[in-house]
Amino acid sequence: MSPFALLLGPPLLAAVLAAVLVPYRPLVGWTGALLSLSSVGAALVFWSRLLAGDVPTSGPGEFLRADALSTLLALCVSVVGALAAWLGPGMGEDDGYEPAQARRFRIFSSLFTFTMLFAVTANNVGFMWIAIEATTITSAMLIPLHVTKASVEASWKYILIGSIGIALAFGGTVLAYFDFVNMAGRQDAALHWTVLRASAAHLHPEVIKLAFVFILVGYGTKAGLAPMHTWLPDAHSEAPAPLSAMMSGVLLAVALYAVMRWEAVVNATVGTGFTDGLYITLGVLSVAIAAFSLVIQRNYKRMLAYSSIEHTGLICVGLALGPLGTFAAMLHLLNHTLAKSMMFFLAGRVLHRYGTTEIARVSGLLKVMPWTGGLFAAGILAVVGLPPFGLFVSEFALFRAGFSVGRPWLVALILALLAVAFVSMIGHLNRMLYGVPTAGVRTGEDRLWPLIPLGLCATTLVVLGITLPAPLETLLRQIVAIVER
Amino acid sequence: MGYVLEVAQAALALALAPGLAGLIRWLKARLQNRRGAPVWQPYWELAKLFQKEVVVSSNASWLFRAAPFIVFASTTAVTFLVPILAVPLPFDGLGDLLVVVYLLLLSTFFLSLGGLDPGSPFGGMGASREMTVAALAEPTVALAIFALALAAGSTNLGQIVARTMADPGAFLSPGHLLAFGALFIVTLAETGRLPIDNPATHLELTMIHEAMVLEYSGRYLALIEWAAAVKLFIFFALLGNLFIPWGVSVVLTPTTVAVAVASLLVKLVVLAAVVAVLETRIAKLRLFRVPELLSVSFVLALLAVTSSFLLK
Amino acid sequence: MDSLFSQLSVLGSSLVLLFGLILLWRRGISAYVGAFAAQSMVLSAVIAIVGYFGNDHELYWVAGTLFLLKGLVIPRLLRRMERRFAVEREMEPYVNTASSLVVSGLLVLFGYMVTRPLVGLSQLPTRAGMPLAMGLVLVSLFVVISRKKALTQVIGFLMLENGLALLAVLGTYGIPLIVELGVALDVLMGFLVMQIFVYRIHETFESIDVEQLNRLRY
Amino acid sequence: MLGGYGVGAVGALLMPGGRAGRGIAAFGMVWGGAAGLALSLQVLLGGAAFTLEVPTLLSIADGLAFRLDALGAFFLGLVGLLAIPCGVYGFEYVGAYEGRYSLRLLGAMLNMFLLTMSLVPCADNVLTFLLMWEGMSLTSYFLVLTEADEPDTIAAAGWYLAMTHVGLALALAGFLILAANATTTAFGDLRTAAASLTPAMRNTVFLLALAGFGSKAGIVPLHVWLPRAHPAAPSHVSALMSGVMIKLGVYGLLRIGLDLLGGGPAWWGALLIGLGALSAVVGVLYALMENDLKRLLAYSSVENIGLVFIGLGAGFLFLGLDATAAALVAFAAALYHALNHAAFKSLLFLGAGSVLHATRTRDMNRLGGLIRGLPWTAAFFLVGALAIAGLPPLNGFVSEWLLFQSLLPGIESRAPMVAPLMTLAVSVLALTAGLAAAGFVKAFGITFLAIPRSPAAECAHEAPVSMRVGMGILAVACAVFGLAAVVVMPALAAALAGSARLPVPVPGFGSGVSLSMPSGFARMSPTLVALGLILITGAAWLVVRLFASRWPVRVSATWGCGRVVQTPRMEYTSTAFAEPLRRVFAELYRPTQDLSIDFHPESRYFVQSIEYRSEIVPWFERYLYAPLVTRVRRWSIWVRALQSGSAHAYLTYLVIALLGLLTLLIVRPG
């Protein structure tokens, strides 16, 4: 029972179970949730194997491979998948979803987790592309869970822009393969990342750069980098909370993972200058567009979506700031995944209670739901980068990298943009938390147990804010070694 | 020996002060060819006031009763610091010119509070105008002090007088003259003399100093009037001894002390005459023209300071 | 031998590009479906030729699946959808026919400039067709942008896939078989999902005009 | 110290509401404060730097490192000094919040606030410093938000957090430029790295630090949050914020400017003096016009910080001109004024707090005559008012005297620009002293004296015991610091001596009772002046009692100039009191006045009601911040248009990005 089976098996099993049991019963939900824990366990096993120094692989010719980068992503995906499984609809209580919708959610959310896990562990670049295309399809099916004009529109835009973007990424993969074929002739293992990485030095610089442009625009669309980010606010604000948590928390990270895989190859061929330039342009553009879109935002789910664009842009800029920058960017990726998924689950609870995503019509949250409100406030403070939480430390490391690499003006610009985002988000938060509770809203917390896992997320964020555990540090160092070498 | 002289000097100041006020009043009357009350009239007034019954407003608090004592105390404290008769006084190390100015500001502070306490509009009006004038006069006083201090090398009064006595040429230096002019205008403002405030009138809307003490009566009024007179005396003594220090005894012998007293009297009479002539010649300024006068004095002080370090 | 092979491949890819241009020229959706079906068939023919001349027999399988999938199944589904919505003419597109043809010409030219290093590097006889494939990719992108009907956008997306498949075949005699099959499956799945969404748009918006989908702002 | 605040915070969180919870919180503060004070005195006098390294925490940037040297010890002592009275005061004051706001949160946040504030001066590497700094801002943000039901509290808190965050970003940039070529981010390495910085970089670091820490200190262009946040916070919190937190801005500037960069060119000092003078004048002028008691105190904090910055500026100026002895004296005078300001400003805020506690209103036009209802508070407020106006026996006067004397040598110096600058500084110092005196006559007189102007003021009752004790401690502190100048000044000078070429053998500040400038320029003895004042008052009282008449004091109505009844509406209100000064400084205020009189229906000669409304121009808000906010809003509207809703537009962006990058590739193959 190799760890890969332990990682990839459970989501598949959950999907099949949900599909088979036609009259949906909460039993399916609970089994799905329990199974998801085993994939988290598998990710931890990979982590421990990595600490011991060997890179676990399995399948014919190293088909599946879990090095440091994929283990980090696998961990993120499995954790958020577990959260979605535990907090998603169909766990027995009345959470506003009919059994049919719950069944559909169970099937496709498990498939969604499976495709992301597969994308992250596939060594073959082609299969990575296929898996990411599959994530688009499975998640697109879930956006219109409640069929409304808005969710249909959001899902159409998501699927259209997503597929076009992914097709361009396929173009990039083909071009890279073309480059490899011309250099070393056709081989079956040609599309394996390890092979590409090893022979990267001999690839033709012109072609690989062209390929990387296609890949960056393609996977950048999935990662929500500006100017290809336009689908993200619509999709995340219309999707059900667990799905938008998975998408915003992890799907963006998986897309960035794909870009980083290719960045490793291109850096080996052409040196970091080319990729840094692209990263900084797209990153700064994303932070700018997101920051200014936050100023007069009326919908708190869209606010969170724009903040995801901002943080993805920040990670992108981080990747362009040398080894320390990549270290900080990866730490920021982990922190952001935790914070953003927690925030979307809480937003789901607020939406469930208030019935509206309008910031203006949500007030007195602290009085209506003290615990959810408290966690919501903590989450927003974490997302804008205030101290006790991990994002403050990773942003600090990022800025330090920026200065030591000798790009003070870039960091100054980023600081200014972050300040704009900070002021607007704190303003929106205050409007929601305080004041007289909106009329007709029942006060008092119900179903407290979902807050426990979210509270756990918050505490891990605080722990990451205070200290950097040694195993995590070694993992991040290995990632830096992979990408920067 | 020095302490005895110090106490004597303070006693002399307290004694002469009402006389000085009476002298100015008498001189003004003569200039307006009126007979005018005799010079020692204020003494009778003080004696009468001490005997009269004290009426206190029902709205007033304990501060109303304590204010006169603090005003009187802070003014008399200044008489110990100012070089009226002799220069190397033991108390000289106690406080310099800044302490003198701020003690006077303390007395104005409490006088305004006393004016506000009974809650009558006149007290409020007087207090607010008094504080405005005092606040605007502050920068002039500070710069005038610094002009003198630069010339003398220290802000301590004893040293300033000693240094100006040492080289007579200093008296005619532009810094000194400009500082004298600035301080003279401030004296008129602080003691409520004519161009800023008319001491003789009781017309509610025009008076500043009188409006604050409207509510006081009996022995409290006596104390405040006495303190006001002493304040006038101090300013004249400052003007006299700082700028024309001759006659202030340096070595303490009975003869030099007598000479000091004589020269002090002469200076006071001359200054009183100047003020009396000035008060008969010019009319009272409108309250909101007073800041212009004070800014003139500020410019004078500024020129004094600039000239003192340009020439150095 | 090679010259025949390269001429045939260039002829095939230029035919594929020409079918792509029909989308810009004609107005009716049925014409689009027909053009797409024809394009897929020519593409599978090109793959077969490459398989024959490059004596790589796996390509026959690829050509077969592509012909079956994109030549027959998808056009039939498209026609069923078209009958269902009974919408004959593509409304006034954002860019009128004349200028869109000019733009597509420019895009093909741009495709040539972009693929210049590719053609220079490759020694395969079929390298001459690659710029045409890149041109098709860019033209189909332009179709998706300029046409208003959701159905047309789906067809544009499918043409984009065709362009990329052509590029892959011409440049590298086809990517490994497993990956190729995976890609084909993904494209089919993608199309099915899009089909579901088009039906749903039709239900909720009573028309498949993407222009009405602009409620989500800011 | 950590134990103290820790117990307070945890206790407040766990303990249920009611007296016990408040008790634990107050106890934690007092214990923490005392421990902090003890630690700082031990370091300040003992001279041994106290270090604590925790490498595991924050291991991403060289671990959590604390090192308390003399400069840090002074500010730690400041926190400890104020924690004790505010803790005692807070015990009762918070009682009023019993039902409305969560006491547990308030207690815990207050203790955390004090903990982070005490740790800021001890931090020894960049990340620890920033962590504590932002922690301090965050906890104080929550404290400002305790009274969230008040209408403008949320806006005030929003302004506050935004300004502090911008300040942090600037300071962060300054630190990181320093840390760019240093191996680790510890302050020791920064010191060595700073030496190798180019002068241009040193100037940018200084300017960034000035902007960053200036916004926390409340220097004029960045002061707008202060008059909003302080009144919104509970009084003992605003006492702590005004007393200590803004001083940490001064600490930050000293740490970077003096310690890490080791002084710089003379224009640094000139800039500081200019800003300080501007803050002092603007602060006092706006304080004069305020009718809200706590806003008046907040603006006067801006003024006093301006005075402190004038002292700092003089220090940096002399350092630039290598007159190190004069520089040390100027720095010591500035720190001493900061210490005194902490004492009397927090006393005044606590006084305002007990007025608010008694009458539930801060508007001076509705107060009055409180001296009867709150005799103790009135007495303490009077002491505070005397101290802040800089009047003789108390500490305000002594520190202003020292500031005057420290500016004096500047006037004589030969350097071209120094003399006029010093003259400007002296005249600003004097003007603000005078205006402050006028302002606090108004504050004290209108609030406490005369006839109560509203029923709430009429039946006001005295503050509970613990509030009075809190104020009492601070009043005593004001008196003691006034008299103990001779002891305190050398300790302050020793705190600064080590860094940046300041002379190590600390000059004497006079002996025994009399305080004298080290340059022997002037001597003054605060103790003897106070003694003299008391003696003479006693003597005068004795003389009057002996010789004056035996008549008992008769109490009757105030003289009404013919008027029969004396109503509170006839009194001078605070706007009326400040009206002459508004007219004098009309250029700055540009007051708008509109008077609406509606006459009695029957005849034009009788008036039913008169409404007088006058506003003054809030310069900085209107001409600096408003355009900034509108420009950001305009850009955001422009960016928002990008998300226009049409799928075609979105796809066009994608294609444009692709084509753009491809053309980039073609055009510039390199």
With bands split at pLDDT 50, 70 and 90, how would you rate the model's confidence at A251? very high
Helices and strands in chain D: count of H runs, count of E runs: 27, 7
Please give the C-alpha separations between residue D141 and each of A259, D154, D224, D232, in angstroms, as whole numbers: 40, 10, 15, 10
Section D228-232 average pLDDT: 89
pLDDT in tens, B110-147: 999 998 888 888 888 899 999 999 999 988 888 888 88
- Same domain for D85 and D23? yes
Percent of chain D having pLDDT more than 70? 93
pLDDT in tens, D64-87: 888 888 888 889 888 888 988 988
Section A74-93 average pLDDT: 88
Give the structural domain span for B267: 2-311
- How far, in Å, CA of A23 to CA of A17, rounded? 12
Between A322-331, D373-382, D518-527, the lowest mean confidence (pLDDT) is in: D518-527
Section D17-42 average pLDDT: 78
pLDDT in tens, D543-581: 888 877 677 788 888 777 777 677 878 888 888 888 888
pLDDT in tens, C62-88: 999 999 999 999 999 999 988 888 765
Q: Of the candidates A403, A383, A401, which has an alpha carbon nearest to the alpha carbon of residue A476?
A: A401
Q: Flag whether B touches A (3+ CB pairs, 8 A cutoff).
A: no
Helices and strands in chain A: count of H runs, count of E runs: 20, 2
Chain D residues within 8 A (CB-CB) of chain C?
640, 643-648, 651-652, 655, 658-659, 662, 665-666
Q: How many domains does chain B have?
A: 1
With bands split at pLDDT 50, 70 and 90, how would you rate the model's confidence at D17? low
Q: How many domains does chain D have?
A: 4
Q: Of the candidates B58, A128, B223, which has an alpha carbon nearest to the alpha carbon of residue D537?
A: B223
Q: If you measure CA to CA, which chain C residue comes closest to A167?
A: C161
Inter-chain contact C211–D662, Cβ cutoff 8 Å? Answer: no
Section A86-113 average pLDDT: 85
Return the pLDDT at D4.
Answer: 59
With bands split at pLDDT 50, 70 and 90, how would you rate the model's confidence at B17? very high
- Same domain for D395 and D518? yes
**B281 CB near a chain D CB, below 8 Å?**
no
Residue A131 lies in a domain: no
With bands split at pLDDT 50, 70 and 90, how would you rate the model's confidence at C29? confident
The 10 Å CB-count burial string (b at 16+, else e) for D295-312 is bbbbbbbbbbbbbbbbbb
Percent of chain A having pLDDT more than 70? 99
Section D103-110 average pLDDT: 82
With bands split at pLDDT 50, 70 and 90, how would you rate the model's confidence at C42? very high
pLDDT at D275 over 90: yes
- Same domain for A109 and A247? no
The residue ranking higher by pLDDT, D159 or B251, is D159
With bands split at pLDDT 50, 70 and 90, how would you rate the model's confidence at B307? confident
**C211 CB near a chain D CB, below 8 Å?**
yes
Judging contacts by C-beta atoms under 8 Å, the chain C residues touching residue D666 are 113-114
Between C59-68, C150-159, C164-173, D548-557, the lowest mean confidence (pLDDT) is in: D548-557
Cα Rg of chain B (Å, integer):
19
Where is D363: in which H helix or E strand? none
- Chain-wide mean pLDDT for chain C? 88
- Same domain for D518 and D656? no
Best to test chain A binding among C141, C193, C208 (most A CBs inside 10 Å):
C193
pLDDT at D3 over 70: no
Judging contacts by C-beta atoms under 8 Å, the chain C residues touching residue D652 are 145
**A296 CB near a chain C CB, below 8 Å?**
yes
Q: How far is A125 from chain C (nearest CA, A)?
A: 9
Q: How far is D664 from chain C (nearest CA, A)?
A: 11
Return the pLDDT at B242.
Answer: 83
- Same domain for D631 and D530? no
Percent of chain B having pLDDT more than 70? 98
Residue A276 lies in a domain: no
Chain B: touching chains (3 or more CB pairs < 8 Å): D
Judging contacts by C-beta atoms under 8 Å, the chain A residues touching residue D113 are none
- Same domain for D525 and D632? no
Return the pLDDT at B311.
Answer: 63
DSSP code at position B195: T
Task: Choose the final residue of a domain: D494, D525, D543.
Answer: D543
Inter-chain contact C164–A179, Cβ cutoff 8 Å? Answer: no
- Chain-wide mean pLDDT for chain D? 85
Give the structural domain span for D625: 619-667
Percent of chain D having pLDDT more than 90? 27
Return the pLDDT at D335.
Answer: 92
What SS3 class is residue D585?
Answer: coil
With bands split at pLDDT 50, 70 and 90, how would you rate the model's confidence at D505? low
Residue A133 lies in a domain: no
- Same domain for D180 and D40? yes
Chain C residues within 8 A (CB-CB) of chain A?
114, 117-118, 121-123, 137, 141, 144, 150, 153, 157, 160-161, 164, 167-168, 171-173, 175-176, 178-179, 182-183, 185-186, 189-190, 193-194, 196-197, 200-201, 204-205, 210, 213-216, 218
pLDDT at C39 over 90: yes
pLDDT at A485 over 80: no
Q: If you measure CA to CA, which chain B residue comes closest to D554?
A: B55
pLDDT at A139 over 60: yes
Answer whether B159's CB lies under 8 Å from B153's CB: yes
Lookup: tokens for A331: 């730490």
Chain D: touching chains (3 or more CB pairs < 8 Å): A, B, C
Section B211-228 average pLDDT: 89
Judging contacts by C-beta atoms under 8 Å, the chain A residues touching residue C157 are 160, 163-164, 167
- Same domain for A233 and A290? no
- How far, in Å, CA of D550 to CA of D87, rounded? 48
Section D405-412 average pLDDT: 78
pLDDT at D589 over 90: no
Give the structural domain span for A35: 1-123
Between A214-218, C104-108, D509-513, the lowest mean confidence (pLDDT) is in: D509-513
The residue ranking higher by pLDDT, D615 or A1, is D615
Lookup: tokens for D571: 């009194």
**Could you tell me where the DSSP H helices lie in A320-407?**
322-354, 365-368, 370-383, 390-405
Section D451-469 average pLDDT: 86
pLDDT in tens, C114-129: 998 888 888 888 888 8
Inter-chain contact D549–B52, Cβ cutoff 8 Å? Answer: yes
Q: What's the predicted TM-score (pTM) here?
A: 0.89
- Same domain for D628 and D593? no
pLDDT at B89 over 80: no
- Chain-wide mean pLDDT for chain A? 90
pLDDT in tens, A400-429: 999 988 888 999 999 999 999 999 999 999
Return the pLDDT at D619.
Answer: 85
Q: Of the candidates D433, D485, D520, D319, which has an alpha carbon nearest to the alpha carbon of residue B143?
A: D433
Q: Flag whether B touches D (3+ CB pairs, 8 A cutoff).
A: yes
Q: Indicate the Cα dihedral angle B7, B10, B12, B15, nearest 10°.
A: -120
- Chain-wide mean pLDDT for chain B? 86
DSSP code at position B86: B
pLDDT at D670 over 60: no
Where is B57: in which H helix or E strand? strand B55-57
- Same domain for D270 and D134? no
**B141 CB near a chain D CB, below 8 Å?**
yes
- How far, in Å, CA of C159 to CA of A455, rounded? 48
- Same domain for A254 and A325? no
pLDDT at D407 over 70: yes
Section A13-40 average pLDDT: 87
Q: How many domains does chain A have?
A: 3
Judging contacts by C-beta atoms under 8 Å, the chain D residues touching residue C145 are 648, 651-652, 655
Inter-chain contact D60–A210, Cβ cutoff 8 Å? Answer: no
With bands split at pLDDT 50, 70 and 90, how would you rate the model's confidence at C91? low
Return the pLDDT at D500.
Answer: 65
Residue A121, phi then psi, degrees to nearest 5: -105, -5
Residue D439 lies in a domain: yes
In chain C, where are the structural domains located?
2-212
Q: If you measure CA to CA, which chain A residue comes closest to D138?
A: A386
- Same domain for D590 and D640? no
With bands split at pLDDT 50, 70 and 90, how would you rate the model's confidence at A442? confident
Return the pLDDT at D7.
Answer: 64
DSSP string over B280-311:
HHSPPPPGGGHHHHHHHHHHHHHHHHHHHHHH
